[in-house]
């Protein structure tokens, strides 16, 4: 689809919504980075800064009943899928008002009722699960699609290969979204992969492979809606590779000294939010004051989310025993 057609198809409302979501992810992540470094937030965090176009582009192509699976780096996926920021924030603080009632934490953000499996922090771990969810949709004849997000690093796990092969063989309505940010923790993919494009791996499973520019939300949306549509209409699963980059460290206080400065700088020039903002302004979809209004709104929203989280109720210690077996108390 040409850019103009795409813009027309999406319409002003959806385009600004997409921008808003991307900006919400960026703001959320920047604020918690600060809170974390100040020691106000418990646990560890893996952030999504720089990758916003991936989650928003894909999730904007989904419908209400669809479901996503995510990784140790789930905040962006969760916001893009529509889990309220305040519930994510409260989860990061371990409060009962969090989306997993404080049981999950940063690496397990999700809410099955809102279309997101609690994130799985075992690299590659969500891929077979998502394949199984898609299998259920097929067996039950439901008009739903399951989407797995994972990284370049995860594509070297056995779980990835087993799941993709099975998905292809059973022709399940799934999309496997590989966010290739060129590093798995500190390891450059050049050290651990002999091929250039992870999407090429699709061919070994007789599956469609596709590549999108993960820094361009419109390109991600365009390709994602095509392959989600394929899955929905029974044409089988796709491996969709998004070429992207994370500006932040892998986790916590990682200064990412293993990434050359020039590489970081060259990617920052392709910033997904700045670029999309430029497109929206050029196409007169929104004006400067509209952008400012929207950014102020998001800023306030995240500040409120922090307040909601910090002031939220702590669980009771004995809550450790709740939410486990469906029909049995935890034997003590």
Partner 1 sequence: MKLTIAEALRKAIREEMQRDETVFCIGEDIGISGGFGGAFTVTLGLEKDFRDRIIDTPISENGIFGAACGAAIMGMRPIADVQYGDFLLCAMDQIINQIAKLRYMSGGKLKVPVVMRAPVGVTGRGAQHAQCLEPYFISCPGIKIVAPSTAYDAYGLLKAAVRDDDPVLIFEHKLLYGSKGARSETGGVDASSEIPEGDYTVPIGRGVVRREGEDITIIGSLLMMHYSLQAADILKKEGISCEVIDPRTLWPLDMDLILNSVKKTGRVVIVEESPKQGGIGAEISAQISESISDYLLSPITRIAAPNTPAPFSPVMEKFYVPQPERIADKIRNLLAES
Ligand X SMILES: Cc1ncc(C[n+]2csc(CCOP(=O)(O)OP(=O)(O)O)c2C)c(N)n1
Pairing of strands 183-184, 187-188: antiparallel
Residue 137 CB, shortest distance to partner 1, in Å, is 26
**Cβ(26)–Cβ(190) under 8 Å?**
no
123 vs 134, beta carbon nearer partner 1? 123
Residues 202, 316: Cα–Cα separation, whole Å: 47
Residues numbered 242 to 271 that lie near ligand X (CB under 6 A) are 250
For position 162 contacting partner 1 by CB under 8 A, the verdict is no
Among the listed residues 124, 151, 214, 249, the single contact to Mg ion using CB under 5 A? 151
Among the listed residues 58, 79, 99, 100, the single contact to partner 1 using CB under 8 A? 100
Residue 151 CB, shortest distance to Mg ion, in Å, is 4
Q: Interface with partner 1 by CB under 8 A: which range of 63-71, 87-95, 233-241, 273-281?
A: 87-95
For position 121 contacting ligand X by CB under 6 A, the verdict is yes
Q: Interface with partner 1 by CB under 8 A: which range of 76-84, 122-130, 224-232, 236-244?
A: 122-130
Q: Interface with Mg ion by CB under 5 A: which range of 66-74, 93-101, 175-183, 192-200?
A: 175-183
Q: Interface with ligand X by CB under 6 A: which range of 176-184, 192-200, 263-271, 317-325?
A: 176-184
For position 214 contacting Mg ion by CB under 5 A, the verdict is no
Residue 73 binds which one of partner 1, Mg ion, ligand X, none, with CB within 5 to 8 A depending on kind?
Answer: ligand X
For position 34 contacting partner 1 by CB under 8 A, the verdict is no
Q: What is the 3-state secondary structure (H, E, C) of the chain?
A: CCHHHHHHHHHHHHHHHHHHHHHHHHHHHHHHHHHHHCCCCCCCCCCCCCCHHHHHHHHCCCCCCCEEECCCCCHHHHHHHCCCHHHHHHHHCCCCCCCCCCCCCHHHCCEHHHCECCCCCCCCCHHHHHHHHHHHHHHHCCCCCEEEEEECHHHHCHHHHHHHHHHHHHCCCEEEEEEECCEECCEEHHHHCCCCCHHHHHHHHCCEEEEEECCCHHHHHHHHHHHHHHHHCCCCCEEEEEECCCCCCCCCCCCCCCCCHHHHHHHHCCCHHHHHHHHHHHCCCCCHHHHHHHHHHHHHHHHHHHHHHHHCCCCCHHHHHCCCCCCCCCCC
72 vs 108, beta carbon nearer ligand X? 72
For position 241 contacting Mg ion by CB under 5 A, the verdict is no
Residues numbered 132 to 151 that lie near ligand X (CB under 6 A) are 150-151
Q: Interface with Mg ion by CB under 5 A: which range of 73-81, 89-97, 184-192, 273-281?
A: 184-192
Binding-site ranges for ligand X (CB under 6 A)? 72-73, 121-123, 150-154, 181, 183-185, 250
Binding-site ranges for partner 1 (CB under 8 A)? 42-44, 91, 94-95, 100, 102-108, 120-124, 153-154, 156-159, 184-187, 191-193, 249, 252-259, 314-321, 324, 330-332
């Amino acid at each position: 689809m040409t850019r103009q057609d795409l813009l027309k198809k999406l319409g002003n409302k959806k385009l600004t919504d997409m921008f808003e979501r991307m900006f919400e992810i960026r703001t959320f992540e920047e604020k918690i980075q600060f809170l974390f470094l100040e020691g106000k937030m418990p646990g560890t965090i893996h952030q999504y800064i720089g990758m916003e176009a991936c989650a928003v582009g894909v999730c904007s192509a989904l419908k209400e009943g669809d479901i996503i699976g995510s990784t140790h780096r789930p905040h962006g996926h969760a916001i893009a899928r529509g889990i309220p920021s305040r519930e994510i924030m409260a989860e990061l603080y371990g409060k009962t008002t969090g989306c997993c009632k404080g049981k999950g934490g940063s690496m397990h953000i999700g809410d099955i009722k809102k279309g997101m499996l609690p994130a799985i922090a075992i690299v590659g771990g969500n891929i077979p699960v998502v394949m199984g969810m898609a299998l259920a949709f097929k067996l039950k004849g439901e008009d739903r699609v399951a989407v797995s997000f994972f990284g370049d690093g995860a594509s070297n796990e056995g779980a990835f290969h087993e799941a993709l092969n099975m998905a292809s063989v059973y022709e399940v309505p799934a999309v496997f979204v590989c966010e290739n940010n060129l590093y798995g923790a500190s390891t450059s993919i050049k050290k651990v992969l002999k091929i250039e494009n992870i999407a090429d791996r699709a061919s070994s499973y007789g599956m469609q492979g596709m590549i999108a520019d993960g820094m361009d939300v419109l390109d991600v949306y365009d390709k994602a809606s095509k392959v989600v549509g394929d899955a929905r209409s029974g044409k089988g699963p796709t491996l969709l590779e998004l070429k992207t980059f994370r500006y932040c460290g892998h986790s916590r206080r990682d200064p990412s000294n293993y990434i050359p400065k020039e590489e970081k700088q060259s990617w920052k020039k392709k910033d997904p939010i700045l670029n999309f903002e430029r497109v929206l302004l050029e196409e007169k979809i929104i004006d400067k004051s509209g952008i400012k209004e929207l950014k102020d709104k998001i800023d306030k929203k995240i500040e409120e989310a922090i307040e909601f989280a910090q002031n939220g109720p702590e669980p009771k210690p004995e809550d450790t025993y709740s939410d486990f077996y469906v029909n049995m108390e935890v034997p003590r």
